[in-house]
Amino acid sequence: QVQLVESGGGLVQARGSLRLSCAASGSTFSIMSMGWYRQRPGKQRELVATMHNGGSTNYADSVKGRFTISRDNAKNAVYLQMNSLKPEDTAVYYCNANSNWAVYWGQGTQVTVSS
């Protein structure tokens, strides 16, 4: 089992920045990739960014050039630096981790961007 705990959400004005953090604990040796998803009001959960153990990344088109994902393998942590935030980035952001046999989710952290 892997446990994920997010932090860093909050209220920010448009064009501002926030940094989300996620710490993994438990069977972290099994993790193959970590990333971030979000669920906007009235929408389905969607991928924001992921990073595999080898360092390859994948971003949603809507956040390319504005968001940056990074990992600290020594701390079993993943981060999401969000710049140039827009009101449409308002969502609950979920940390995600994948192993060969399971998908794990954090509890979510609210990000609200005011115009």
Give the separation between CA 24 and CA 37, rounded to whole angstroms. 16
Q: Residues in the chain with pLDDT < 70?
A: none
Average pLDDT, the chain: 96
Give the Å distances, CA to CA, from 113 to 10, 17, 68: 8, 10, 18
pLDDT of residue 83: 98
Give the Å distances, CA to CA, from 73 to 67, 83, 105: 20, 23, 18
pLDDT of residue 4: 97
User: Hunting for tokens 């969502």 — which residue is that?
Assistant: 91
Phi and psi at residue 53, to the nearest 5°: -55, -30
pLDDT of residue 14: 98
pLDDT of residue 92: 98
